[in-house]
């Protein structure tokens, strides 16, 4: 009998790791429906979605990296780099400026990927270097200045919506679908999961392990740069000194809370989005009820520990 | 014999896992002073039964009685405290601590001040080891000892804990013959002390030498329990497999396709040389394989067998030497290049270097061929499924579904999945490093049969095995390695046990002791 309980417990834990985040988001929505006036107003929903979108975009890249048993600490700095480059090229038009900004992020990812894949530096250290150096570089590029953005095309990315969906949010949605497809249906995605699960075996099976790792960090840098562009557009300014500060932590939190194990070999794309959403809703709920931010931070800590506990329990 | 009741009495024990009934009403009694053989194919339920016995699993149904009382061990520590000790295949000790520290880890004798009494630790450690015929210096770091000596330390540790039951899971798999003798001596002394020993092994000779009774498991059930001496070997194997071993295998080589003999070799490796930290890993190793042939690679542990295979497969950089497949040169030091040329390596370490544990059987099979089964980088599951189904049928891989995670399969089925992974690529050369290690008897025969079949279809096969019998039965010629060099080539007429043993013994016997570990 005791053993039956243990089996049930293992099953419940596994289930919670996979779907707990959905329940938590659902519960928070329900609570807010009951106690928070106007929570489900169009305006509030849009605000929440717009606020969470950059985190979602960064977290999607982070999920890919974590799926290879790595981590990318430099995402905030990649955002800053993209933001810093943006105003320099606006003279050539928004399209060119955005392309250059994205290229800067991809370049940062390329450096990370090369350090991890070919030099063999641990991901946490390789990307730590760029976390520190990248923002420094961004400030040099921007001359340490905050610059107003006045290009209407670029600003529209942060302000306008399509059929009621803010463009920022639309980007996050499309990217979510894209990454889900990438992970589930493409050779790159399947290779990346295999590399995360057993790198030696993947190597011996002739998989392009180095290319997969580089690709993953490039995507993470690219996504971070996109988040940097969109966040700047919304801010109507390029602010490399503060944009994306500590976003690596929010992104890692979203991925882990979403059920992706840090040990690699499994990536939960929609779970990651839900993880970001959970953290956003939590903060919003507390703010709307005039509770201090410190309460939110402590609640987040509890959720992180819980998520990691569930992952760990399952592994044993 | 102490009293008339069994030390351990398992009554109708059952254990289910998702999709599998690992144990189905298993009853087992262990009497004081008996050595009890536990045999069965992989997946028969041996490991599960041991884990139930040692507290790692709790049964879903049935009862575990220990010394006459119904018990339920919360964890392996509780079982050990009660007197059930286990020695696993892989030694679970702390490599960087001394032998003495390992022996007393977690139960060190204390001085008056509560500090560890080092003098007593060393003295008692030496005494305990001496009792098992081991004269190792107890201050030596454990990882400086050979595997066999380490296993003896593990055994001494397990048994010194006031054990009443000692479970040995494949205890001789990494021992040399002399060490096996020592182990049997220890087992005899355990028996004399009234301890019950559960002995799990695939080696028939050992079972018949040391065990009193036997329990045969098949598909989670006990199919036989009784005195081992009263059970003929053939019958024992029959019970394990549930069918009579087919004698179809073998001696197919003798008459195999002499037509292709003498043509371009399908694999030619020349002068493979690799130095690492001044040590010669490989020195001028050359191997040639004709299509349709199985060529054996013999040698003792550490002779460079696996390294030769890895070098050919591009998984190890080379200082010199080249590899040719069907007359065309292959870039060395690149697994991708070797694979493109049609060289596939089935690695010795199945778990660490073979399977992708959390991916499905389907994806493990198509892993290397995924690129070819995709269009514009998008995988096609229907094309994958067609191939996967073919191989599951052809290699008789036992799975509940192609979507089952590969880590849930038994060793033999995992090995077949890995074979299938390479067969998807239509390879020209298969390098098989210990293809049947850790696989039960039935699956072993099947895998060996498959190897023959593949060779007959025109592949070149390089077979590495530390089992003489497997090597001799499987190969049409054998290259014998020693310290990274080919010391002997046994041609088609010379592949016999006598020749192979003679070749293995080449060199000064005085070097032998230096070979440990």
Which CATH number belongs to the domain containing residue A170 in this structure?
1.10.3470
The per-residue pLDDT for A177 is 97
Range in A88-97, B181-190, B237-246 the model is least confident about:
B237-246
Instruction: Tell me whether B246 touches chain A (CB under 8 Å).
Output: no
The per-residue pLDDT for B220 is 87
What is d(CA A189, CA A187) in angstroms, rounded to the nearest whole number? 5
Ranked by mean pLDDT, the top range of B78-92, B121-135, B395-409 is B395-409
Q: Do B359 and A194 touch (CB under 8 A)?
A: yes
The per-residue pLDDT for B262 is 58
Token pair 């036992």 in the structure block, residue:
B398
The per-residue pLDDT for B29 is 94
Range in A175-179, A250-254, A287-291, B2-6 the model is least confident about:
B2-6
What is d(CA A160, CA A113) in angstroms, rounded to the nearest whole number? 35
Ranked by mean pLDDT, the top range of A28-32, A120-124, A214-218, B478-482 is A214-218
Instruction: Tell me whether A204 touches chain B (CB under 8 Å).
Output: yes
Confidence of residue B2 (pLDDT cuts 50, 70, 90): very low
The per-residue pLDDT for B505 is 63
Residue A188 with chain B: CB contacts under 8 Å: 377
| Residue of B461, B463, B459, B456 whose CA lies nearest to B437 | B463
The per-residue pLDDT for B125 is 87
Q: Do B356 and A6 touch (CB under 8 A)?
A: no
| Ramachandran category for residue B396: left, alpha or beta (phi over 0 → left; psi -120 to 50 → alpha) | left
The per-residue pLDDT for B19 is 60
Confidence of residue A139 (pLDDT cuts 50, 70, 90): very high
Q: What is the pLDDT of residues B103-157, one digit of tens each?
A: 888 778 888 888 888 888 888 888 888 877 677 788 888 888 776 777 778 888 8
- Asked if B449 and B248 count as a contact pair (C-beta separation under 8 A), the reply is yes
Structure tokens at B109: 């004798």
Task: Give residues with Cβ within 8 angstroms of B434, minimum separation 6.
Answer: B348, B464, B465, B466
Does the structure show a pLDDT above 50 at B307?
A: yes
Q: Do A187 and B374 touch (CB under 8 A)?
A: yes
The per-residue pLDDT for B114 is 83
Range in A25-39, A216-230, B246-260, B341-355 the model is least confident about:
B246-260
Residue B47 vs residue A195, higher pLDDT: A195
Ranked by mean pLDDT, the top range of B61-75, B299-313, B435-449 is B61-75
Does the structure show a pLDDT above 50 at B296?
A: yes
The per-residue pLDDT for A174 is 96
The per-residue pLDDT for B411 is 80
Cβ neighbours of B185 (radius 10 Å): 12
* CA-based radius of gyration for chain A: 20
Ranked by mean pLDDT, the top range of A125-129, B55-59, B78-82, B127-131 is A125-129
Token pair 């191989």 in the structure block, residue:
B391
Handedness of CA A84, A89, A91, A96 (dihedral sign): negative
The per-residue pLDDT for B509 is 36
Distances (CA, A) of B380 to A22, A269, B58, B326, B340: 30, 20, 42, 32, 21
The per-residue pLDDT for B222 is 93
Looking at the DSSP bridge assignments, the partners of residue B268 are B288, B324
Q: Do B58 and A185 touch (CB under 8 A)?
A: no
Structure tokens at B50: 């041991």
Confidence of residue B302 (pLDDT cuts 50, 70, 90): low
What is d(CA B53, CA B73) in angstroms, rounded to the nearest whole number? 9
Name the residue range of residue A213's domain.
2-315
Does the structure show a pLDDT above 60 at B463?
A: yes
| Gap from B106 CA to chain A (nearest CA, Å) | 23
Residue A199 with chain B: CB contacts under 8 Å: none
Confidence of residue A7 (pLDDT cuts 50, 70, 90): low
Cβ neighbours of A139 (radius 10 Å): 16
Residue A60: phi, psi to the nearest 5? Answer: -65, -45
Mean pLDDT of B407-436: 89
Strands (E), B76-156: 84-87
The per-residue pLDDT for B34 is 95
Mean pLDDT of A227-232: 95
Q: What is the DSSP letter of B515?
A: G
| Gap from A147 CA to chain B (nearest CA, Å) | 41
Count CA atoms within 13 Å of residue B413 on its CB side: 24
Residue B452: helix, strand or coil by DSSP?
Answer: helix
Confidence of residue A227 (pLDDT cuts 50, 70, 90): very high
The per-residue pLDDT for B276 is 77
The per-residue pLDDT for B507 is 41
Which CATH architecture does the domain made up of B1-83+163-245 adopt? 3-Layer(aba) Sandwich (3.40)
What is d(CA B53, CA B141) in angstroms, rounded to the nearest whole number? 32
Confidence of residue B193 (pLDDT cuts 50, 70, 90): confident
What is d(CA A14, CA A224) in angstroms, rounded to the nearest whole number? 31
Does the structure show a pLDDT above 80 at A72?
A: yes
Mutant choice from B367, B372, B405, B406 vs A, greatest count of A C-beta within 10 A: B367
Residue A95 vs residue B159, higher pLDDT: A95
Distances (CA, A) of B481 to B147, B289, B311, B468: 21, 16, 14, 14
Mean pLDDT of B470-485: 87
The per-residue pLDDT for B255 is 41
Residue B280: helix, strand or coil by DSSP?
Answer: strand
Does the structure show a pLDDT above 90 at A229?
A: yes
Residue B17 vs residue B35, higher pLDDT: B35
Residue B303 vs residue A32, higher pLDDT: A32
- Asked if A102 and A229 count as a contact pair (C-beta separation under 8 A), the reply is yes
Does the structure show a pLDDT above 60 at A316?
A: no
The per-residue pLDDT for B288 is 93
The per-residue pLDDT for B241 is 65
The per-residue pLDDT for A26 is 92
How does B225-261 read in b/e, with b if 16+ C-beta sit within 10 Å? eeebeebeeeebbbbbbeeeeeeebeeebeebeeeee
**Residue B426, Cβ density class (10 Å: 0-12 exposed, 13-18 middle, ≥19 buried):** exposed
Task: Give residues with Cβ within 8 angstroms of B484, minimum separation 6.
Answer: B274, B280, B281, B282, B283, B285, B303, B304, B307
Full DSSP string of A29-80: HHHHHHHSTTTTSHHHHHHHHHHHHHHHHHHHHHHHHHHTT---TTHHHHHH
| Gap from A214 CA to chain B (nearest CA, Å) | 17
Does the structure show a pLDDT above 70 at B346?
A: yes
Residue A6 with chain B: CB contacts under 8 Å: 58
Domain residue extents for chain B? 1-83+163-245, 349-426
- Asked if B474 and B449 count as a contact pair (C-beta separation under 8 A), the reply is no
How does B140-149 read in b/e, with b if 16+ C-beta sit within 10 Å? eebeebbbbb
Distances (CA, A) of A233 to A100, A171, A222: 15, 13, 17
Handedness of CA A261, A262, A267, A271 (dihedral sign): positive
The per-residue pLDDT for A1 is 46
Handedness of CA A168, A169, A174, A178 (dihedral sign): positive
Mutant choice from A14, A197, A206 vs B, greatest count of B C-beta within 10 A: A206
Q: Average per-residue pLDDT in chain A? A: 90
- Asked if B159 and B85 count as a contact pair (C-beta separation under 8 A), the reply is yes
Residue B301: helix, strand or coil by DSSP?
Answer: coil
What element of type H or E holds A101?
helix A94-114
Range in A212-216, B139-143, B300-304, B385-389 the model is least confident about:
B300-304
Q: What is the pTM of this model?
A: 0.71
> Among residues of chain A, what percentage have pLDDT more than 70?
96
Mutant choice from B13, B59, B359, B383 vs A, greatest count of A C-beta within 10 A: B359
Residue A194 with chain B: CB contacts under 8 Å: 356, 359, 363, 367
Task: Give residues with Cβ within 8 angstroms of A278, minimum separation 6.
Answer: A21, A24, A25, A28, A257, A303
> Among residues of chain B, what percentage have pLDDT more than 70?
87
- ipTM, two decimals: 0.84
Q: How many helices (H) and strands (E) does chain B have?
A: 16, 22
The per-residue pLDDT for B308 is 93
Does the structure show a pLDDT above 90 at A144?
A: no
**Residue B103, Cβ density class (10 Å: 0-12 exposed, 13-18 middle, ≥19 buried):** buried
Residue B379 with chain A: CB contacts under 8 Å: 185-187, 190
What element of type H or E holds B276?
strand B267-276
Token pair 């996109």 in the structure block, residue:
A226
Closest residue of chain B to A11, computed from CA coordinates: B18
Mean pLDDT of A243-248: 91
Instruction: Tell me whether B368 touches chain A (CB under 8 Å).
Output: yes
Task: Give residues with Cβ within 8 angstroms of B430, minimum separation 6.
Answer: B344, B346, B422, B451, B454, B459, B460, B461, B462
Residue B507 vs residue B353, higher pLDDT: B353
Instruction: Tell me whether A207 touches chain B (CB under 8 Å).
Output: yes
CB-closest option in A187, A201, A208 to B355 = A201
Looking at the DSSP bridge assignments, the partners of residue B295 are B462, B477
Looking at the DSSP bridge assignments, the partners of residue B69 are B66
Token pair 């990812």 in the structure block, residue:
A109
Structure tokens at A43: 């305006």
Residue A206: helix, strand or coil by DSSP?
Answer: coil
CB-closest option in B16, B72, B355 to A198 = B355
| Residue of B504, B413, B395 whose CA lies nearest to B177 | B504
| Gap from B82 CA to chain A (nearest CA, Å) | 19
Structure tokens at A56: 């979602």
Q: What is the pLDDT of residues B40-62, one digit of tens each?
A: 866 688 888 999 998 888 899 99
Residue B344: phi, psi to the nearest 5? Answer: -125, 135
Full DSSP string of B166-216: EEEESTTTT--HHHHHHHHHHHHHHHHTT-EEEEE-S-HHHHHHH-SEEEE
Q: What is the pLDDT of residues A259-268, one digit of tens each?
A: 888 888 889 9
The per-residue pLDDT for A4 is 57
Does the structure show a pLDDT above 60 at A32?
A: yes
Q: What is the pLDDT of residues B479-490, one digit of tens each?
A: 988 878 898 888
Confidence of residue A125 (pLDDT cuts 50, 70, 90): very high
Mean pLDDT of A117-129: 93
Mutant choice from A178, A201, A311 vs B, greatest count of B C-beta within 10 A: A201
Q: Output the CA angle B472-B477-B479, nearest 5 degrees.
A: 95
Mean pLDDT of A76-80: 95
Confidence of residue A131 (pLDDT cuts 50, 70, 90): very high
What is d(CA A63, CA A179) in angstroms, rounded to the nearest whole number? 10
Task: Give residues with Cβ within 8 angstroms of A219, minimum separation 6.
Answer: A61, A64, A109
For chain A, how many structural domains are there in total?
A: 1
Q: Do B379 and A200 touch (CB under 8 A)?
A: no
């Amino acid at each position: 009998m005791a053993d039956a309980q243990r089996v049930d417990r293992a099953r419940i834990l596994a289930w919670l790791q996979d779907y707990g985040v959905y329940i938590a988001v659902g519960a928070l929505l329900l609570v807010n429906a009951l106690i928070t006036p106007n929570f489900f107003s169009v305006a509030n929903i849009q605000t929440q979605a717009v606020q969470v979108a950059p985190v979602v975009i960064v977290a999607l890249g982070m999920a890919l990296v974590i799926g290879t048993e790595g981590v990318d600490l430099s995402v905030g700095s990649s955002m800053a780099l993209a933001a810093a480059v943006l105003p320099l090229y606006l003279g050539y038009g928004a399209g060119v400026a955005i392309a250059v900004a994205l290229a800067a992020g991809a370049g940062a990812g390329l450096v990370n990927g090369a350090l991890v894949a070919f030099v063999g530096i641990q991901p946490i250290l390789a990307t730590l270097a760029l976390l520190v150096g990248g923002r420094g570089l961004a400030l040099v590029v921007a001359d340490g200045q905050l610059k107003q953005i006045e290009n209407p095309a670029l600003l529209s990315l942060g302000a306008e919506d399509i059929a009621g969906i803010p463009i920022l949010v639309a980007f996050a949605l499309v990217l979510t679908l894209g990454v889900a497809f990438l992970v589930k249906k493409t050779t790159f995605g399947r290779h990346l999961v295999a590399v995360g699960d057993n790198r030696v075996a993947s190597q011996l099976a002739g998989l392009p392990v180095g290319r997969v790792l580089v690709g993953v960090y490039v995507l993470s840098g690219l996504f971070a740069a996109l988040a940097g562009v969109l966040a700047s557009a919304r801010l109507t300014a390029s602010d490399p000194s503060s944009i994306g500060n500590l976003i690596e932590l929010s992104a890692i939190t979203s991925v882990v809370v979403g059920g992706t194990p840090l040990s690699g070999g499994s990536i939960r794309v929609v779970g990651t989005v839900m993880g970001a959403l959970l953290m956003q809703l939590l903060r919003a709920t507390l703010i709307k009820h005039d509770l201090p931010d410190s309460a939110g931070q402590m609640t987040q800590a509890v959720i992180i520990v819980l998520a990691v506990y569930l992952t760990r329990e399952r592994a044993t | 014999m102490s009293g008339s009741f069994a030390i351990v009495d398992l009554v109708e024990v059952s254990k289910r896992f998702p999709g599998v009934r690992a144990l189905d009403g298993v009853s087992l009694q262990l009497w004081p002073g008996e050595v009890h053989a536990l045999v069965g194919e992989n997946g028969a339920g041996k490991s599960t039964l041991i884990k139930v016995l040692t507290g790692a699993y709790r049964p879903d149904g049935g009862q575990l009685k220990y010394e006459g009382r119904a018990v339920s061990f919360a964890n392996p520590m509780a079982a050990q405290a009660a007197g059930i000790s286990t020695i696993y295949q892989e030694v679970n000790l702390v490599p960087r601590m001394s032998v003495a520290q390992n022996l007393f880890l977690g139960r060190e004798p204390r001085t008056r001040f509560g500090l560890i009494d080092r003098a007593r630790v060393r003295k008692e450690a030496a005494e305990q080891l001496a009792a098992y015929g081991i004269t190792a210096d107890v201050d030596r770091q454990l990882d400086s000892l050979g595997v066999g000596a380490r296993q003896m330390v593990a055994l001494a540790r397990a048994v010194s804990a006031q054990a009443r039951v000692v479970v040995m899971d494949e205890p001789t798999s990494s021992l040399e013959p002399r060490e096996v003798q020592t182990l049997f001596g220890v087992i005899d002394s355990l028996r004399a002390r009234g301890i019950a020993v559960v002995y799990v092994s695939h080696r028939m000779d050992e079972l018949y030498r040391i065990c009193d009774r036997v329990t045969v498991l098949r598909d989670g059930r006990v199919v036989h329990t009784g005195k081992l001496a009263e059970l003929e070997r053939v019958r024992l194997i029959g019970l394990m497999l549930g069918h009579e071993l087919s004698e179809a295998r073998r001696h197919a080589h003798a008459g195999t396709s002499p037509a292709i003999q003498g043509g371009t070799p399908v694999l030619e490796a020349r002068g493979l040389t690799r130095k690492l930290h001044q040590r010669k890993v490989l020195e001028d190793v050359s191997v040639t394989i004709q299509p349709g042939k199985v060529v054996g690679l013999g040698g003792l542990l550490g002779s460079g067998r696996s390294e030769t295979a890895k070098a050919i497969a591009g998984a190890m950089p080379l200082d010199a030497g080249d590899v040719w497949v069907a007359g065309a040169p292959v870039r060395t030091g690149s697994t991708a290049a070797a694979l493109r040329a049609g060289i596939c390596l089935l690695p010795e370490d199945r778990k660490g270097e073979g399977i992708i544990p959390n991916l499905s059987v389907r994806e493990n099979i198509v892993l290397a061929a995924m690129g070819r089964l995709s269009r514009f980088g998008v995988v096609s599951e229907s094309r994958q499924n067609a191939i996967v189904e073919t191989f599951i049928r052809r290699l008789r891989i036992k799975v509940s579904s192609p979507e089952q995670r590969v880590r849930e399969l038994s060793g033999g089925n995992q090995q077949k999945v890995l074979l299938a992974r390479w067969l998807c690529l239509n390879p020209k050369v298969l390098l098989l490093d210990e293809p049947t290690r850790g696989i039960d008897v039935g699956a072993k025969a099947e895998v060996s049969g498959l190897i023959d079949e593949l060779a007959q279809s025109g592949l070149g096969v390089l077979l590495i095995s530390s089992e003489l019998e497997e090597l001799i039965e499987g190969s049409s010629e054998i290259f014998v390695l020693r310290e990274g060099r080919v010391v002997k080539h046994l041609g088609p007429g010379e592949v016999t046990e006598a020749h192979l043993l003679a070749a293995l013994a080449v060199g000064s016997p005085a070097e032998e002791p230096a070979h440990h570990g």
